[in-house]
Amino acid sequence: MSTQAAPLLEKPRKRSSATLYEVVVPLLATAAGFLVWEAICKAFSVPAYLVPAPSEILTETLAIGPTVLGHSLATLKTVLLGFIVSILISLPLAVLLTASPAIAAALYPFLVWTQSIPKVALAPILVVVLGSNELPRIVITVLVAFFPLVNSSATGLMSVPPELLELSRACRASKWSELWRIRLPYAIPFIFSGLKVAISLAVVGAVVAEFVNADAGLGFLIVTSTAFFKVPVAFGALIILSVMGVVLFQIVVIVERVFFPWSTGNAMLAS
Amino acid sequence: MISLNRVTRVFESRDGDRITALEDVSLSIRDNEFVTLVGPSGCGKSTMLRIVAGLILPTAGTASIGGVPITEPRSETGIVFQAPTLLPWASVMDNVLFPLRMMHKMDSTSIDKAAALLKLVGLSGFEGKSPRELSGGMQQRVAICRALVHEPDILLMDEPFGALDALTREEMTMELLRIWGERPKTVLFVTHSITEAVVLADRVVVMSPRPGRIAEIIEVKSSRPRSFHVEGDADFHDASRRIRALIFGQKHVDPSRAAA
């Protein structure tokens, strides 16, 4: 019983030190970074069209606040749609890849091919093929984001201890219930590590797509504002993009913790 | 009754080499008999277990249970592996119920059955715990409950206590004898430990490697119920010494006497 009681006693302290390290310290460090940046810009009188100070970025971006908000929402829409489509493609694809070596051998060349194409070069071609609308942006986002998710999901599906698969066979379970009751749950930690990479890459993909073809979005805002030397606004868009990336990443982390607590626990044990 | 008749199993490795894991093995196991398989690595113990489980088929010869040839896994067999391999996302109770779910055999009595088994292994009150809250020994107890929940008549155990520390191992050995006493069934138990093999078994099947054959089958006459006190018995001593001689003095064993 003593070994059972010990972790219970430790929990509150663990939780408070976790908040300290996961929230307080990073926020303080970020704030300190901005302060140093501000101080350097002020001390050396760096011109705003080269490297604007954080205060200038803030005022100039807020000055066109509603416009920036519109662009942010446009980018967020592309990121989320691209991310969702990536999931919808990647999970079945991972199941297919792990279903048989023949299917894997047939599909992998295509996957590698989609990854070896430079997406920036592909983007203008896709616009011609698919038209100047949301579709090519989503396609680019998916092409940038989906591959790590397929890979880690496939790895996860293959990570089941062979004994459990033998047990499943000994229970005369169907391939379907083996997938549903053993392989997929086992893959959850791997799927989530893929999702974390995919959500970050989805932001990158959306911006790449917006550089090439868009009339809205933060990528579009960066292109147009730098063209008119409104560098503080471009920096503002950049900061919003990185914040968007961090927030979306954290949402994935929280979803994993809330719905699959055993998954994060295992990851911690493994590392 | 489990019966193996001149069973040979050959595996083909990826580069085309043929490895004979089991060669010409014949063995009959009575109902409710406790048989242990002991021998060095590569002697085909696990292969034999998997043939009885129906997970792999013999290359030659026949394996049958109650006169019916084993061609696929049968639902009246329970298996315990060296690693507990519990589902990390499921509670202890759900882990025990897992085979019933996989077999679509859940009914109103299932939970009571699982709870009774957990009580039998001393894990009452742990039903809602997660496997990672349990020690290695406790996890293996859950794995044993999982193997028994569908009331199999045959229990196959592949070095089930191999990953446990020495003290837990002895404790689990006694526990298993007690469970077997309360719920008799045919047990085929693979182990590397000679002491474990002798304490548990009605008969110890000593195997020799490359190719895997039965070197000798040794009857253990010590009376039941047993404990590790039988280590002092003359019967126990004779059996252990004979097994050691067979395993470590392998060259002096005449292979023609192998099939018993």
What stretches of B65-135 show up as alpha helix (H) in DSSP? 92-102, 110-120
- Claim to verify: residue A28 and residue A123 sit in the same structural domain: no
Q: Is there a single domain that holds both residue A66 and residue A24? A: no
Task: Say if residue A70 is in the same domain as residue A6.
Answer: no
Mark whether A22 and A62 lie in a shared domain.
no
Question: Are A130 and A7 part of one and the same domain?
Answer: no
Partner residue facing A163 (CB), from B81, B99, B135: B81
Report the distance separating Cα A32 and Cα A20, nearest Å.
16
Ramachandran category for residue B125: left, alpha or beta (phi over 0 → left; psi -120 to 50 → alpha): left
Closest CA to A68 of A207, A237, A193, A201: A237
Same domain, A194 and A251: yes
Chain A residue nearest residue B149, CA to CA:
A171
Judge if A183 and A252 occupy the same domain: yes
What CATH number corresponds to the domain at position A219?
Answer: 1.10.3720.10
Domains recognised in chain B with CATH numbers = 2-76+153-257 (3.40.50.300), 86-152 (no CATH)
Into how many domains does chain A fold?
Answer: 2
- Average pLDDT of the residues in A221-229: 87
Residue A268 has pLDDT above 50, yes or no: no
CA dist A138 and A149 (Å) reads 16
**Residues 6+ away with beta carbon under 8 Å from A233:** A57, A60, A61, A64, A68, A221, A225
- Domain residues for A238? 50-270
Q: Is the Cβ of B19 closer than 8 Å to some Cβ of chain A?
A: no
- Contact: B102, A188; criterion CB under 8 Å: no
Helix (H) or strand (E) run with residue B206 in it: strand B203-208
- Token reading at A105: 């051998």
pLDDT of the residue at A15: 61
Contact yes or no for B132 and A265 at CB 8 A: yes
Q: Which of A252, A149, A145, A146 is nearest to A206 (CA)?
A: A145
Residue type at B254 in one-letter notation: D
Note the pLDDT of residue A270. Answer: 40
How sure is the predictor about A13, in pLDDT bands with cuts at 50, 70 and 90? Answer: low
- Residues of chain A whose C-beta is under 8 A from some C-beta in B? 3-4, 161, 163-164, 166-173, 177, 181-182, 185, 188, 260, 262-263, 265-266, 269
For every residue of chain A, DSSP letters joined together read -HHHHHHHHHHHHHHHHHHIIIIIHHHHHHHHHHHHHHHHHHHTT--TTTS--HHHHHHHHHHTHHHHHHHHHHHHHHHHHHHHHHHHHHHHHHHHHHH-HHHHHHHHHHHHHHHHS-HHHHHHHHHHHH-SSHHHHHHHHHHHHHHHHHHHHHHHHT-S-HHHHHHHHHTT--HHHHIIIIIHHHHHHHHHHHHHHHHHHHHHHHHHHHHHS-SSSHHHHHHHHHHTT-HHHHHHHHHHHHHHHHHHHHHHHHHHHHH-HHHHHHHHHH-
Residue A14 shares a structural domain with residue A102 = no
Which pLDDT value is given to residue A91?
94
**A83/A205 same-domain check:** yes
CB contact under 8 A, A185 and B89: yes
- Tens digits of residue pLDDT in B119-156: 888 888 998 999 988 988 899 999 999 998 988 899 99
B177-225 residue pLDDT tens: 988 988 889 999 999 888 889 889 899 999 988 888 888 888 887 777 7
Contacting residues of B for A181, CB less than 8 Å apart = 98, 101-102
Q: Are residues A6 and A72 in the same domain?
A: no
Q: Is B136 on the interface with A (CB under 8 A)?
A: no
Q: Is the pLDDT of residue B16 over 70?
A: yes
Q: Give pLDDT, residue A5.
A: 40
Q: Scanning every residue of chain B, which has its alpha carbon at the shortest distance from the alpha carbon of A5? A: B133
Q: Are A76 and A210 in contact (CB under 8 A)?
A: no
Average pLDDT, chain B: 86
Residue A170 to residue B79, Cβ atoms within 8 A: yes
Looking at the fold, whether A35 and A154 belong to one and the same domain comes out as: no
Task: Look at B75 and A171 and tell me if their CB atoms are within 8 Å.
Answer: yes
pLDDT over threshold 90, residue B92: yes
Query: Token match 């493994």: residue?
Result: A270
A27 with A106, same domain?
Answer: no
Q: What's the whole-number average pLDDT of chain A? A: 85
Q: Is B85 on the interface with A (CB under 8 A)?
A: yes
Chain B residue with minimum CA distance to A269:
B132
Confidence at residue A8, expressed as pLDDT on a 0 to 100 scale = 45
The whole-number pLDDT of residue A176 equals 87
CB spacing of A171 vs B79 below 8 angstroms:
no
ipTM, two decimals: 0.80
